[in-house]
Structure 1
Amino acid sequence: MKQITVIVDIAPATPYHPAVIALCAEQQAEIEARYPGAGEAPSGIDPQIDFLLARVGDEPVGCGGLKPLEPRVAEVTRMYVRPAHRGQGISRGLLDALEGLAGGRGVRTLRLETGDLQPESIGLYQSSGYRRIPAFGPYQGNALSLCFEKHLRD
């Protein structure tokens, strides 16, 4: 079997970029399909989120966001890679780039939330050094939420 290397460009994008809006809508549709009847999905995109957009050639294939929570603490949010592009290391590349962005802004602790029916996300976060923590912020009291945290090195 021949191995193919995919060249991925990861660059900043605004929350209002059409590709970010489309990818976030796809992410929410996938979450609703995995957790039917689990409650209302968040509407809109928080303008405080700084997004990174992953592209293969001219095609947007994934995104991830960094949302400030408190001084030196931020949340990794809206992580999503289109199904046709999964398994190519794009999520890990996005997560690494978000960690770099956070570190450059003086963030020392990253938190995130994923669902208990998303083993691929859980595996990515745990293999990237994130550890389970009690639910934080809006995820408190949600039995389906799993929260993680990573302390970045200086």
Structure 2
Amino acid sequence: MEPTWSGTDSLRVEEVAWNHPDACRLREQQRIDIAALYERVDSEPGKPPSADDMSCFCVVYQDGLAVGCAGLRKLDQDSAELKRMFVTKEARGKGAANAVLVFLEQKAAALGVQRLLLETGDKLLEAQRFYKRSGFQIIPNFGYYQGVDSSICMEKILSVP
């Protein structure tokens, strides 16, 4: 797949297959980091994302190294959930997360998505601050996250019908 976003010479976002080696490695690192933070191996309620239900998955490269990823899972005609958003510790604060988010917001709009939803953990304060700076607002927990005290759900309206 062709790169569709390049913010600087050092940052490039590419849409990749769910099972792309860089995507798999980054998702595994995210899982390890979250397991350490929450002291349990799997903290996600509901059906985990898979190649079958992801509308798009991307990896951000910085100076040729895969440093972050995220995907979109369409929930209905108008909304999609941001899934597996992750940036390596070494790359945080250098624009990789923003590059992924811009890419996925553009992809979502092209898919007709008007509302982007996400879930993040109550202990992921950096992520919460990033999403708020990026225009997301906290909403009541939706779907599988209802009743999960450690979940913080957010949304961003991409366009108004």
Per the TM superposition, whether the score is higher than 0.5 is yes
CA contact under 8 A between 2:15 and 2:57: conserved in structure 1?
Answer: yes
Query: Which of 14, 23, 28 lines up with 2:26 in the alignment?
Result: 23
> Deviations along 1:5-39, whole A, 9 cap, x unmatched?
77111010110101101100100111111111385
Aligned equivalents of 2:42 and 2:59: distance in 1?
28
> Deviations along 1:33-58, whole A, 9 cap, x unmatched?
11113855579751122211101233
Aligned equivalents of 1:146 and 1:125: distance in 2?
11
Cross-structure match for 2:122: 116
Q: Could you say if the C-alpha distance between residues 128 and 44 of structure 1 is closer, same or farther in structure 2, counting changes exceeding 3 Å?
A: closer
Aligned equivalents of 1:45 and 1:68: distance in 2?
11
Q: Could you say if the C-alpha distance between residues 44 and 58 of structure 1 is closer, same or farther in structure 2, counting changes exceeding 3 Å?
A: farther
Cross-structure match for 2:63: 57
How many angstroms does 1:123 deviate by? Answer: 0.6
Task: Tell me the matched-pair count.
Answer: 150
Q: Runs of 5+ in structure 2 lacking a partner?
A: 1-7
SS at match of 2:59: strand
TM-score (norm 1): 0.90
Aligned equivalents of 2:136 and 2:99: distance in 1?
15
1:23-102 aligned within 5 A: 23-37=26-40, 40-41=43-44, 45-47=49-51, 48-49=53-54, 50-102=56-108
Cross-structure match for 2:10: 7
Q: Could you say if the C-alpha distance between residues 148 and 45 of structure 1 is closer, same or farther in structure 2, counting changes exceeding 3 Å?
A: closer
Report the aligned-residue RMSD.
1.9
Q: Which stretches of structure 1, 4 residues or more, deviate above 2 A after TM superposition?
A: 37-45
CA contact under 8 A between 2:117 and 2:156: conserved in structure 1?
Answer: yes
Q: Could you say if the C-alpha distance between residues 91 and 11 of structure 1 is closer, same or farther in structure 2, counting changes exceeding 3 Å?
A: same
Cross-structure match for 1:135: 141
How many angstroms does 1:153 deviate by? Answer: 2.4
Q: Could you say if the C-alpha distance between residues 71 and 108 of structure 1 is closer, same or farther in structure 2, counting changes exceeding 3 Å?
A: same
Q: Runs of 5+ in structure 1 lacking a partner?
A: none
TM-score (norm 2): 0.86
Q: Could you say if the C-alpha distance between residues 39 and 24 of structure 1 is closer, same or farther in structure 2, counting changes exceeding 3 Å?
A: closer
CA contact under 8 A between 1:65 and 1:78: conserved in structure 2?
Answer: yes
Query: Which of 138, 145, 152 lines up with 1:146 in the alignment?
Result: 152
How many angstroms does 1:61 deviate by? Answer: 0.8
Cross-structure match for 2:132: 126
